[in-house]
Amino acid sequence: MSAPKRVLFGELPAGEAQALAEVTRSIALDLGDGRAPTKLVRALGESGLLGFGIPEDRGGSGGTVGLAALVAEELGAAMAAPPVLHQLVGVHLLSQLENADLLGPTLTGESLVLSVFGAGDAVEVPFAATWDLAVLCSQRGTRLLDRGCLSAPVDTWIAPDWRNVRAEVPEAGGASNRQAWDELTSLAGTLGAAYSLGSARALLTETARYVGVREQFGAPVGSFQAVKHPLANAWIDLRHARELVLAGLAGADDSAATDLRLGALAAGSAAQRCAEQCLQAMGGIGFTWESDVHRHLKAIAALRHWPVPELRARAALRAELLDSTPP
């Protein structure tokens, strides 16, 4: 009897998952210039890569959210512009509204959507000029944000297209739905963690290449234990964190949201530790603007606090784990 194929990301055998990753990576590297997301989002939509986890009868690509995580991982490796990750999450938020007229164009990449998470009467909306739709997810439900609610930019020192703006949003009525909030923030956090893992993996690969050719004292710097051991540990951390994310994605019981949050927090921490080690190993070039190290590091650091601040996520996870512990 032949051994069963190892299955990753839900229903795909490893070979097919690898092929999907390669297609995503190719598109992202060709069209992801790091600033303008429009062409990349359109190409991903036309290839059906934005709709994983959305049923086919609603215009999606079917499959599981795990496939969306695979796409996010490769987008991170290619340093795709952050609004592309918002698009990947936003289609799932829009699907909660059950509005096919809005969901369809975002799945095909014709409309850019931003995913905003928050509560109260004021939230920050990123990338002010890059979106057609913005979806606000709070504990009282999911709804669209209108451009009329936007106020002055929060950060006026960066390019207008990338500024965060404050939105004045009256809190929606109705009862709080904590379960839906937990599920959606866990999904967003997992896709963000997958993006970070891909980013860290690509950075580690480039760092390993660099320390293998950069010489000091007549030998490659990568041959020194002070360089190679921390990088090896970073690789191990990434592998462990990735398995935690995969385990969370494979969960189908009541603890699935908790498992997803656990994996996302572990992945964010591992990715940032890896990026910091790479920064040190790259030496002087790692601290220059000409290098891509700072872009990977800043994206990873920012995603640790999205969709909710990390300290709040850790506190919520700790409370859940303590509540679920048998006496």
Q: What percent of the chain has pLDDT over 90?
A: 47
For 171, the domain range is: 7-176
Give me the percent of the chain exceeding a pLDDT of 70. 79
190 and 148 co-located in one domain: no
Does 317 map to a domain? yes
pLDDT tens for residues 18-71?
889 999 999 999 887 655 688 999 999 999 999 999 999 988 999 889 999 999
C-alpha angle 269/73/290, rounded to 5°? 75
Residue 72 has pLDDT above 90, yes or no: yes
How many distinct structural domains can be found in the chain?
A: 2
- Segment among 19-33, 139-153, 172-186, 296-310 with least mean pLDDT: 139-153
Judge if 133 and 231 occupy the same domain.
Answer: no
Which pLDDT score, from 0 to 100, does residue 266 have? Answer: 96
More reliable by pLDDT, 163 or 90: 90
The CATH code of the domain that includes 211 is: 1.20.140.10
Q: Are residues 88 and 206 in the same domain?
A: no
What's 110-178 look like in SS3? CCCEEEEECCCCEEEECCCCCCCEEEEEECCEEEEECHHHEEEECCCCCCHHHCCEEEECCCCCCCCCH
147 and 11, same structural domain?
A: yes
**Rounded mean pLDDT, 292-314:** 91
Q: Are residues 160 and 210 in the same domain?
A: no
**Residue where one domain finishes, among candidates 161, 176, 191:** 176
Q: Is the pLDDT of residue 303 over 70?
A: yes
Q: Are residues 31 and 133 in the same domain?
A: yes
**Is pLDDT above 50 for 309?**
yes
pLDDT of 319 over the 80 cut: yes
pLDDT at residue 231, rounded to an integer: 97
CATH number for the domain that contains residue 123: 1.10.540.10
* Band of pLDDT at residue 291, cut at 50, 70 and 90: confident
Q: What's the confidence (pLDDT) of residue 177?
A: 74
Domain boundary among 130, 152, 176: 176
Asked whether residue 1 is domain-assigned, the answer is: no
- Residue 202: inside a domain: yes
Average pLDDT over residues 260-285: 94
This prediction has a pTM of: 0.88
Residue 256 in this model has a pLDDT that exceeds 70: yes
**Residues 25 and 155 occupy one common structural domain:** yes
Same domain (yes/no): 224, 293: yes
Half-sphere exposure (CA, 13 Å, Cβ side) for 315? 5
Give yes or no: residues 319 and 220 share one domain.
Answer: yes
Measured distance CA(231)–CA(250) in Å, rounded: 29
For the chain, what is the mean pLDDT? 83
- Is the residue at 80 inside a domain? yes
Q: Provide mean pLDDT across the span 278-287.
A: 88
Q: Are residues 209 and 155 in the same domain?
A: no
For residue range 145-160, what is the model confidence (pLDDT) as tens digits? Answer: 766 566 555 544 444 4
Region at 287 (left for phi over 0; alpha for psi -120 to 50; beta for the rest): alpha
**Residue 6: pLDDT band by 50, 70, 90 thresholds?**
very low
Q: What is the pLDDT of residue 36?
A: 66
CB 142 within 8 A of CB 134: no
Q: Residue 216: which H helix or E strand, with range?
A: strand 215-216
Last residue of a domain, one of 127, 154, 176: 176
Residue 138 pLDDT level (bands cut at 50, 70, 90): confident
